[in-house]
Amino acid sequence: MNAMRASYGLNEEEQEMITVVREFAEQHVAPRAAEIDQTAQFPRDLLEQMAELDILALPFPPVYGGIGASDLLVVMAIEELARQCASTSLILAAQTLAGTPLMLFGNEQQKQFYLPRLAKGEWLAAYALTEPEAGSDAGSMRTSAVRKGECYVLNGSKHFITNGGLA
C-alpha cells in the first residue's frame, strides 16, 4: 500500500484488496472514463473484470460466495472506483445497495438464490428508490408494501431505477 495513504485500521489482506481495486481502477477504468460518460454506455466488460477480481464479491458473506468485507472496505473500494469514474463505481454501489436488504431481511431460500449470483457478477442488481414526488428522499417516499396473506401488494411508482434497463 502507498505509504502516503492511511490504512484506516485495515488488516494486511484488506489493504491488499484495496490495492487490487485501485490498480484495476487506474489501469482499466481511468482510460475509459471519458468514453463511458460521453457515450452513456454501460461498461459490461468492466463489470466482468470486476467479477473476475472478486470486487463484486466484497459486500457478500462467504457462505454465499462473497468476501464478507467490512462496510469500510466496501466504501473504500467504491471510492477507489469513483476516483477514476463515478459511473463505474455505481456498479459495486448498486450491487451493495440491492444486496443489503436481501442479506438483512431475506429468507434463506432467497439468500441462496440471489446472493451468489450477485457476488459472482452473473446478475446485475437494480435499485429502485427515486419517486416522481419525492426524488431520492427516502423519508418522503409514498410507495408501500402491504402484506396480503403470503404475498405483498406494492402500491406506488418509481421514477428512476438504477440498472433497471440492464439487470
The CATH classification of domain 12-123, taken from the options 3.90.580.10, 3.40.50.300, 1.10.540.10, 3.40.1390.10: 1.10.540.10
Output the 3-class SS for the chain: CCCCCCCCCCCHHHHHHHHHHHHHHHHHHHHHHHHHHHHCCCCHHHHHHHHHCCCCCCCCCHHHCCCCCCHHHHHHHHHHHHHHCHHHHHHHHHHHHHHHHHHHHCCHHHHHHHHHHHHCCCCCCCEEEEECCCECCHHHCCCEEEEECCEEEEECCCCEEECCCCC
Task: Give the number of residues written for the chain.
Answer: 167
2 pLDDT more than 60 = no
Please give the average per-residue pLDDT across 91-98, as a whole number: 95
Q: List the domain boundaries for the chain.
A: 12-123, 126-167
3 pLDDT more than 70 = no
Q: What whole-number percentage of the chain has pLDDT above 70?
A: 96
The model's confidence at residue 68, banded by pLDDT at 50, 70 and 90, is very high
142 pLDDT more than 50 = yes
pTM: 0.87
Cβ atoms 105, 158 nearer than 8 A = no
Please give the average per-residue pLDDT across 50-79, as a whole number: 97
Query: Any idea what the Cα angle at residue 14 is, between residues 124 and 10, rounded to 5°?
Result: 125
The model's confidence at residue 5, banded by pLDDT at 50, 70 and 90, is low
Cβ atoms 21, 69 nearer than 8 A = no
- Residue that the C-alpha cell 428508490 belongs to: 129
Query: What is the per-residue pLDDT for 94?
Result: 94
